Structure 1
Amino acid sequence: MTLIQNARIFNGSKAPSFIGDIRLENGQISEISKQPLQPRAFEETVDATGLWAMPGFIDFHTHYDAEIEISPDLQESVRHGVTTITLGSCSLSLALGDPVDLADMFSRVEAIPRKSVLEILQSRKTWNSAEQYRNHLNDLPLGPNVTSFAGHSAIRTHVLGLERALSRRAKVSREELGRMNDHLEEALDNGFLGMSINTLVWDKMDGSRFRSRPLPSTFAPWSEYKFLNRTLRRRGKVFQGVPNVSTKVNVIMFLLETMGILRPALKTTVISLMDVKYDPHLYKVLSLMGRLTNTILKSDFRLQALPEPFDLYADGMDVVVFEEFAAGAAANHIEDEYERRRLVQNPEYRNWFRKQWTNWFLPRVFHRNFKETKIVEAPDPTLLGKSIDDVGRERGVDSVTAFLDLVAEYGNSIRWYTVMANHRREPLEKIVSLPDVLIGFSDAGAHLRGMAHYNFPLRMLKLVNDSHRDGRPFMSLEHAVHRLTGEIADWFGIDAGYLGVGRRADLVLVDPAKLDDSLARDVEAPMPFLDGFKRWVRRNDDTVKQVYINGRLAVKNGIPVPELGQKKGFGQFLGSQIGY
């Protein structure tokens, strides 16, 4: 038993917070009181004076599908107060399929070493259905609670075979559509949240068989999605999608699909609403479309949004945004770094790259402005701290030439940083306040060297807390907590997100005095289970004092406890409770 005393308690709703005590007993919250509770014999007491107690955060967009197999503690999220995560995003799931096929689908898209993913799956994958996968997850010593989508790429490949799944010429029979739907129904029967798809063609296959083809989900006609969506709509489940964010055009298809006129609305969430640097008005257009869709078309549509700057690190050309134009994708098609360096020395390639990089009529998400970069690692120390444009001016060449020269000279040893979106505070405050937004899209467990949004809930609390400190609050603190907890749980239909008597005791203690600039501190953390591979994270261990999952202490003073990921009794698979 644990008694948390004198905390400021946020219960996950928008109700006013208050100072009080919380008693944890047998995995549940047994008492919440505004009056002091008396400690019992053998009860651990925690003095939470000055701390905020709130439900554990929910991260509904991760790619921990492979990592959870070898490191089920998922401590990089848990240490930041996340107590529930979601697998199966962006059409990718490990519930169904051959290990080699799944590794080829998963690795390049999510920038995880294919060799490691393949070894994990070949040595551990004993399941091949949604039911078996759910049982398997519950057999693991999970750190956080786990939810999952059924991945459309995995289902399509399992039914058609990988070669046909990656062809637009392949005609899918009615019987094959029915088999896809059977797998989807089984997943929903086993508590999966819904289905995820991907229409973004710069998410590419890894491996040697079909390298650089887009994912299987992108080859499906829209009629295939619509057929499967009938099941989601009938059962009240969630349709998660990745639009073609470069062209933005097929966002309209998602909006029409969610429409609730003369039929039930289809719960739909897509990535992602940002204040992108290259187009400062785009977020206004997308947010207006979301509002009109939900009001006029009676939809249930949510854009995913991060409450922090969307920044990137890149090792040479090895970064996902280079997949959005053909010259960049051609370089990343080459696995061998030496061969890639030879390519960027080729005059014809350099001319092609320059034309595409500077062509403002090509669809884009990335700003492609080398003035907005900073070199952070390089064999030549005189380069550190400079932009790639600075290097070009010093060498008497344009910035594109300077970049290609640096890649030719140093390959992936030249590491650079840039901010792609959410760089302005006022637009960011507007985005996270929108009713048509869900706060999330961390991609935790993916883009290990390029993105680090594991602590996004704390960044949200800082954003709101700073506005109160500055005398210009745009949202109550209670509402901010609700957006990170109860609102997400309600929309996805999972038993999480609230503090209440009789509820599972998933909660976090946060020190508001440490919601400071340390939340943006960069750390390269070794991953022992991936042969010491280092991922970029942000560590702020002074901010999260305690994390409890199922009533058990999971993090103490910012450090995960040794039992996390080693013993069962913390997290569990949480099934969807909406629809049927």
Structure 2
Amino acid sequence: MRNVTYDTIIKDGRFFDGSGGPSAVRHVGIRDGVVAAISEEPLDETGCGEVVEAAGQWVLPGMVDIHTHYDVEVLRGPDLTESLRHGVTTILLGSCSLSTVHVGGVDAGDLFGRVEAIPRQHVISAVDEKRTWENAGQYVAALESLPLGPNLAAFIGHSDMRTATMGLDRATRKEVRPSAAEQARMERMLREALDAGFVGMSAQQLLFDKLDGDLCRSRTLPSTYARGREMRGLRRILRQRGRALQAGPDVGRPHTLLTQAFGSIGLGGRPLKTSLLSAADIKAIPFVIHLLRGLAGLVNRLGGDFRFQHLPVPFEVYADGIDLVIFEEFGAGAQALHLQEKLARDELMRDPAYRARFRKDYESKYGPRVWHRDFFDAEIVACPDASVVGKSFGQVGQERGGAHPVDAFLDLVLDHGTDLRWRTTISNHRPGVLRKIAREPGVQMGFSDAGAHLRNMAFYNFGLRLLRHVRDAEVAGKPFVTVEHAVHRLTGELADWYGLDAGHLRLGDRADLMVLDPSRLDSSLEEYNEEPVAQYGGLSRMVNRNDATVPLVMVGGRTVWRSGRATSLLGRERTGRFLRTGEQSRSPLTAARRTPQTPRPSTTEIAS
């Protein structure tokens, strides 16, 4: 007699399988960590450990976040609750050429500290304390020894490999090239990472990503110093193995974007899977987004396998004083951020010659750039001087005798330091353009930067915000994509492109899923919130809080988030695992997995 007992049944929810196919009300049975039944008819609840009533709610695969910097946080906080609570169950580490596979604590601190705005001293202590690995395979084993909350996958960072091979000083000198032995070692590191299941390699060409520390402070990341021979060898391995290159072109050198994009084309052979940063509707150069959309389509028609990464929400950033990465893109801003001591910074900002340089950089509106450089479009949200709160720096200057906006900004930084908090939106500010990008096949939904820029931004719930945009347009009778397609873009599409066993809810799939209340896709998704980070000494970081929107999250068939709270599993037991590219679930039920489509009206079930 067949045993049809389930560990969990989720009943009467609108079911999305992650393929983009039609959704429908279904009952989902979970047994031994995998999807064991998908049925139009109610399932037998006899002996079931948990029954979840999901009427009026959506049942979705867990979302995939393809661009994070959790490499440090995961070592001491492997639950990664800030992403899980929003339905993200698979997370990619190792973006922007940065990973902790080969470098020690001090080098990791110099690589991550300033670029990703993670306190350098905590990077050093976390890596030195937890490091038990010497290569990529051991790194994966070390991750899987932790009580992981979500599933992880990873890029190997080019700056990580280059630093470990050449030393940080030599790796950041223009005149130095890797020797033949050093090139061979980096290529061996890459092969080892791919053998361990990494999705590929991340590289960087962006020149305003600067190093922290003292030894090489304010030099750009090691990956930016690589030249053609070095990169050709690494790219050849990725192309041969069918793995992905994540790259960041330099906005100040547009030819680097074209080089990366057209480098994806196979020219009669295998294309190089390339994911490029990033498709953004930048305020400073509003026409460029249309060129990027066209470029992706052209490259793929010519035989490439090319995608832009895109954050599908307004890119709003906050800053404490002058501590914000956008100032790195011009000389006067980078000059101030180079100085670690407040007294030295203050002296610089009082210097009339420095102020003149800053004004000149600010007023230079031509050429590629990220920040719009408009202090009238920068709102002060907190300051000991309450009279300036709610105003822009431009307004403050006007009220102070017509002072230049730069002088008004520098005066307030001098008076209040990091107690001056302000915000601006850099890109993705036009809803109509966001709707167009959401339909582009050459664009991937991602670029959250979760785990980095702790005081500057919070996009942990970017997937929910996209779904709200889609749902609101549908309700208004002006749909731009279906909800099913939007779910696919956040789940199965990403997992399939990177070769990961995630993003789908088919029979035999691991039960990584979320239950979502569509009535709570509301303004709570955009509210400002902060929360202390224990592993960073209690630093208060920006977060998202919309707990009513996602009442349930499961990883591997185990409930990790329920009714606004983490369950007792998180931080104590491992629910997630390291997902190796090309590896399917080890469950014996995998053989019964169906093609990714919504089941016909019947009970589709795997017998135990």
Normalising by structure 2, we get a TM-score of 0.94
The CA deviation at 1:445 is 0.2
SS at match of 2:479: coil
**Superposed counterparts of 1:166-245, under 5 Å:** 166-245=172-251
Name the structure 2 match of 1:503. 509
CA contact (8 A) 1:204 1:215 kept: yes
Corresponding residue for 1:16?
Answer: 22
8 Å contact kept, 1:307–1:463: no
**What is the one-letter code of the residue matched to 2:532?**
P
- The SS at the match of 1:375 is strand
The answer to whether residue 283 in structure 2 is matched with residue 286 in structure 1 is no
SS of match in other structure, 1:131: helix
Find the counterpart in structure 2 of residue 305 from structure 1.
310
Distance in 1, matches of 2:344 and 2:174, equals 31
CA distance in 2, matches of 1:42, 1:188: 41
Structure 1 position 365, deviation (Å): 0.9
**Correspondence for 1:487:** 493
Following superposition, the deviation at residue 120 of structure 1 comes to 0.9
Secondary structure in 2 aligned to 1:224?
helix
Q: Which residue of 2 aligns with 1:359?
A: 364
Could you tell me which of 31, 38, 51 is aligned with 1:32? 38
CA distance in 2, matches of 1:389, 1:40: 67
State the Cα distance separating 1:326 from its structure 2 match.
Answer: 1.0
SS of equivalent residue, structure 1 residue 340: helix
Give, in whole Å, the separation in 1 of the partners of 2:155 and 2:543. Answer: 25
Shift of 1:248: 2.6
How big is each residue's C-alpha offset from its partner over 1:306-345, in whole Å with a ceiling of 9 and x where there is no partner?
A: 1110110011110011000011001001112232122111
Is the partner of 2:255 in helix, strand or coil?
Answer: coil
Please name the residue that 1:564 is paired with: 570
In the TM superposition, what whole-angstrom CA distance separates every residue of 1:408-431 from its partner, at most 9, and x where no partner exists? 111111110111111111100001
TM normalised by structure 1 equals 0.98
Partner of 1:393: 398
Give RMSD over aligned pairs. Answer: 1.2
Give the Cα–Cα distance (whole angstroms) in 2 for the partners of residues 362 and 45 of structure 1: 58
Residue 279 of structure 1 deviates from its aligned partner by 1.7
Is 1:75 matched up with 2:81? yes
SS in 1 for 2:350: coil
Q: Deviations over 1:369-408 (max 9, x none)?
A: 1111111110111111111111111102121111111111
Supply the distance in 2 between the matched residues of 1:125 and 1:191 (Cα, whole angstroms).
Answer: 20
Partners in 2 of 1:66 and 1:98 — Cα distance? 12
Aligned match of 1:524 in 520, 523, 530?
530
Gaps (5+ residues) in structure 1? none
Aligned to 2:265: 259
Question: 1:81 Cα deviation (Å)?
Answer: 0.3
- 1:35-50 equivalences under 5 Å are 35-50=41-56
In the alignment, is the contact (CA less than 8 A) between 1:337 and 1:412 conserved in 2? no
Match of 2:446 in 1: 440
Cα distance in 2 between the residues matched to 1:564 and 1:24: 20
Whole-angstrom CA distance in 1 between matches of 2:155 and 2:581? 10
Taking a change above 3 Å as real, the CA distance of residues 454 and 130 of structure 1, as seen in their structure-2 partners, is: same
What's the secondary structure of 1:110's corresponding residue?
coil
Q: Which residue of 1 aligns with 2:597?
A: none
Taking the TM superposition and a 5 Å limit, the aligned residue runs for 1:124-203 are 124-203=130-209
1:334 aligned partner: 339
CA distance in 1: counterparts of 2:341 and 2:125, whole angstroms: 20
Measured after TM superposition, the shift of residue 122 of structure 1 is 1.7
Please state whether the residue corresponding to 1:544 is helix, strand or coil. Answer: coil
Deviates more, 1:99-108 or 1:309-318: 99-108
Q: How does 1:545-564 map to 2 (within 5 A)?
A: 545-564=551-570
SS in 2 for 1:200: coil
| Residues 199 and 217, structure 1, Cα contact 8 Å, conserved in 2 | yes
Matched, 1:316 2:321: yes
| Structure 1 position 441, deviation (Å) | 0.4
Q: Distance in 2 between matches of 1:429 and 1:181?
A: 41
| Paired residue secondary structure (2:435) | helix
Distance in 2 (CA, whole Å) between partners of 1:420 and 1:200 is: 17
C-alpha distance in 1 between matches for 2:252 and 2:436: 23
2:358 is equivalent to residue 348 of structure 1: no
**What is the aligned partner in structure 1 of residue 587 from structure 2?**
none
1:155-207 CA distance string (max 9 Å, x none): 11111111111112113222221111001000000000001001111101111
Moved segments of 4+, more than 6 Å: none
Q: Does 1:461 align with 2:461?
A: no
Equivalent pair of 1:304/1:441 in contact (CA under 8 Å) = yes
1:362 to partner: Cα distance: 4.8
Aligned-pair CA distance for 1:42? 4.4
What SS does the aligned partner of 2:323 have?
A: coil
Q: Distance in 2 between matches of 1:40 and 1:521?
A: 42
How much identity, in percent, do the aligned residues show? 46
